[in-house]
A and B are shown apart, each in its own frame.
Chain A
């Protein structure tokens, strides 16, 4: 065949020559410029999931409570009383690398739209952030900008930002990760979907005017080195307009004639229209001339690929239109009728009386190529994992507290308060347990006795050193955090942040991590109901640490039965579960020995499940008064965090633990392990707790008693908790 397409034109839309030939085959002709742009967007990794779709099939996505799994704008899970919790996490990594404030802000805007597109009222925001070390000025700039943007957008919307995680590693230099998660509540029968239907129904575009923002955003999110490859205009978010759009859309959902709603995100109108048509197995015809513009002289191509924020597509019957319009007028938002639903299954884009594009929706979606690749683990990673750590010199008892101070000051461990205080976490008057008060945030559900527990989490070092095991850890730790406040983990959302899948070692990480996540999600009974994929996170040819961020949502039936991490004076600390810890992949190893090596902690999923069940039931029965899992920094850091939170001390015996850790102090104090939780128990309940642990075949070890201002260890002497607190609090500084 004779095709005149140039390599430049293909690079512009990030399609390969082979993919172009497929398009030619499908159409039996050359695509028009607008069609080519639309194929480029829809067949990008970001929209088309070319490399990840086959892997995502491994996730368990069903369960008795699942009302909506992957495939819609967000997942939905039953929480009883006819209510559902709707949630999803999404990345905005590449835009944030270019313009951190606006990149992060529009990331929040995008995920919030995904939630209210489903008809749900957003009630909580979370975020999961990754940066290079802050001693690099560019990283400090990105950090300040991203944190500012998240607060700037979420605070203005009036949705509390209640939880998240932040992690630093040199592998994120040039490639910060910004994952935003939103959680909403909706009545079962009000869940809205993006399935266009009803031939002749009207296609209405509401919200912001369309400008030349972020054209090719979807495609540039699918290539390496965003800072160089970024073209088009940086998107600037308008949280004020989003707030109006949020309120107006939730009102509009009460209108009878509204049959579908779809936000405009990556690839703007293109992806929204194609998604609606393909999900509804109908056609859609629109005229770009009917789209309100922010700028003069925009081409059909620009209108179709613009990623202007704060826009929403609504499919409504002719009868429903007047009421719909009056709602948007009331909120000072204009609504453009830009087209209609058709019977022919084609997506037809008119530019006045000329046809700019006319292709069956299925070509964009169902015919999107899928690449199953060959994954091979890099020899360096194998070597790093197999590194023998037994030759490391152990700590002497004099070294224990200095090491503890060093870990508490580490940017991966220290207090996030300077960041958290810039996020509004009290608005909506639902926040029962806010940031810093517990392992997960607890948000009440008004009108019920219930509360939701939410947490976003991932230890990327574990995933880096062992993707399969690390993927399991990510799910297990997120669930453990939720269990530690007394909530039953219901389901999860996830964001797969990885390097290039076109590199065998990159694909290996992605594939193995997904398999590990799937295994843990299955074992812990937490299906995957939504998520997002962000690949090609590389600068130079350095890939980021593989980071499958987990967003876990749990349910507390009786909000009065919950736990925080602050132990009351006089209570007894008991370690439930795993007693032997490892230095492998630990924060201690990185901070003290500058090593990212060894195998992450073992994870026995049935045991993990048991530990979480026990902790939950102990909290539900009011037997324990505080709980905290042990993550980065191990047992001693976890204990310090509890005492700092309670502004108290404790006297602790670690000799018994030392015995099961080959007599090593470093492993005992700072080694990391899964499947274990420190609980604080009133003296009277100690035997109950020890007994119930034995009943279910779990270890439980009495560590010591809470009180006084000192942390006293049988293996290391004493230190003032106030000093630990000062170090822990002064680690991170954030300012704009």
Chain B
């Protein structure tokens, strides 16, 4: 399976996204420059973390207008799997491919640490091979991860099964103390209605090797490979 990693000015998680697929998943992966207008032969897209355009104005606000985004939207509309991680998540919400918005953390400082998220649904290609309820140990590193939606949007997300990850403790229990940024309803990641576009604040692409603190991010990346194989089988 072939992954594409979209690189914008100020992306800095592109290296981790590329190496997690290459060294962790051992699948094929290619960089895609934001000035390109096509994404070529890719089966899945990763929108990496970083500070595109310095996160100036709003995180992801300027990057969403890059030339490549038209092709990304088309890929999304054709049902292609897209995973936005951290800044990638922010770009996808700014682009309207995912609901809600990401604001500065409640405590107003950047936060980098290993946390736990609970997988809420297996309807997305990035969680298809993970049992709902599974707790994943992943790093976060962001200053603007407070996920915000209106109450009725939240109701819709719940109704449509669009909440993909929630912050929890190691046992999978939700408490406010384990919500690192003040996100609404402890939401760490969501998907679009169709389920093929997923965004999350944590960094699965930094968790692909026990040597660097954990490898549970691979479950998310591997999931899309298996989903793809199943799709191929029919």
> Which residues of A are interface residues toward B (Cβ below 8 A)?
148, 151-152, 155-158, 238-241, 243-244, 330-332, 420-432, 434, 444, 446, 559, 734-736
Contact = CB atoms under 8 A, between A and B. Distances in A.
Given A155-B51, A240-B54, 14 more contacts: A155-B143, A156-B10, A239-B54, A240-B51, A240-B55, A240-B56, A243-B51, A330-B35, A422-B110, A423-B110, A424-B141, A427-B206, A429-B212, A430-B212
B20 A429 contact: yes
Residue of B12, B113, B203, B211 with most partner-chain A CB within 10 A: B12
B53 A429 contact: no
Contacts of B211: 432, 444, 559
A243 B8 CA distance: 11
Contacts of A241: 54
A152 B110 CA distance: 8
A559 B53 CA distance: 36
Nearest to B107: A735
B147 to A, nearest CB: 20
Contacts of B56: 240
Residue of B108, B111, B212 with most partner-chain A CB within 10 A: B212
Interface of B: 9-10, 12-13, 15-16, 19-20, 23, 35, 49-51, 53-56, 107-114, 139, 141, 143, 203, 205-206, 208-209, 211-213
B143 A158 contact: no
Contacts of A239: 51, 54
Contacts, number: 96
B110 A431 contact: no
A734 B108 CA distance: 11
Residue of B10, B107, B111 with most partner-chain A CB within 10 A: B10
A421 B54 contact: no
Contact of B9 (A244, A424, A559): A244
Contacts of B141: 155, 424, 426-427
A429 B209 contact: yes
B213 A431 contact: yes
A423 B51 contact: no
B110 A151 contact: yes
14 contacts: A158-B13, A158-B51, A238-B54, A239-B51, A244-B9, A420-B112, A425-B112, A427-B13, A430-B212, A431-B213, A432-B211, A432-B212, A446-B19, A559-B211
B112 A421 contact: yes
A332 B52 CA distance: 13
A409 to B, nearest CB: 22
Contact of B16 (A151, A243, A422, A428): A428
Contact of A428 (B10, B15, B112, B113): B15
A429 B15 CA distance: 9
Nearest to A430: B212
A426 B10 contact: no
Nearest to B209: A429
Contacts of B203: 426
A598 to B, nearest CB: 39
A360 to B, nearest CB: 41
Instruction: Provide the main secondary structure of the chain A interface.
Output: loop
Nearest to B212: A429
Contacts of A428: 15-16
A207 to B, nearest CB: 14
Nearest to A239: B54
A149 to B, nearest CB: 12
A736 B19 contact: no
B206 A422 contact: no
Nearest 10 A-B pairs (CB), nearest first?
A: A158-B12, A240-B54, A156-B51, A424-B141, A426-B139, A424-B112, A422-B110, A429-B16, A422-B109, A240-B10
B110 A244 contact: no
B206 A426 contact: yes
Contacts of B51: 155-156, 158, 239-240, 243
A559 B49 CA distance: 27
Given A158-B12, A426-B203, A421 B111 contact: yes
B110 A735 contact: no
Nearest to B108: A736
B212 to A, nearest CB: 5
Given A155-B141, A239-B51, A446-B19, A426 B12 contact: no
A431 B109 contact: no
B206 A429 contact: yes
B40 to A, nearest CB: 18
B9 to A, nearest CB: 6
Given A426-B206, A429-B20, A331 B112 contact: no
Nearest to A158: B12
Given A426-B203, A735-B107, A243 B112 contact: no
B55 A734 contact: no
Contact of A736 (B109, B113, B212): B109
B112 A426 contact: yes
A272 to B, nearest CB: 25
B110 A427 contact: no
Residue of A156, A157, A735 with most partner-chain B CB within 10 A: A156
A430 B114 CA distance: 15
A417 B107 CA distance: 15
Given A156-B54, A734-B109, A426 B213 contact: yes
Contacts of A422: 109-112
A735 B108 contact: yes
Contacts of A332: 9
A333 to B, nearest CB: 10
Nearest to A155: B110
Nearest to B109: A422
Contacts of B15: 158, 428-429
Nearest to B23: A446
Contacts of B23: 446
A423 B112 contact: yes
Residue of A241, A424, A444 with most partner-chain B CB within 10 A: A424
Nearest to B110: A422
A238 B139 CA distance: 26
Residue of B35, B112, B143, B208 with most partner-chain A CB within 10 A: B112
Contact of A431 (B54, B111, B205, B212): B212
A7 B57 CA distance: 47
Contacts of A735: 107-109
A358 to B, nearest CB: 40
Contacts of A240: 9-10, 51, 53-56
Contacts of A431: 212-213
B36 to A, nearest CB: 12
A626 B23 CA distance: 29
A244 B10 contact: yes
Given A239-B54, A240-B10, A243-B51, A427 B108 contact: no
Contacts of B13: 158, 427
B113 A421 contact: yes
Nearest to A161: B112
Nearest to B52: A240
Contacts of B10: 156, 240, 243-244
Nearest to B12: A158
A331 B9 contact: yes
Contacts of A156: 10, 12, 51, 54-55
Contacts of B12: 156-158, 243, 427
Nearest to B54: A240
B11 to A, nearest CB: 8
A285 B114 CA distance: 53
Nearest to A241: B54
Contacts of B111: 421-422
Nearest to A332: B9
A146 B49 CA distance: 24
A431 to B, nearest CB: 6
A353 to B, nearest CB: 38
A420 B110 CA distance: 10
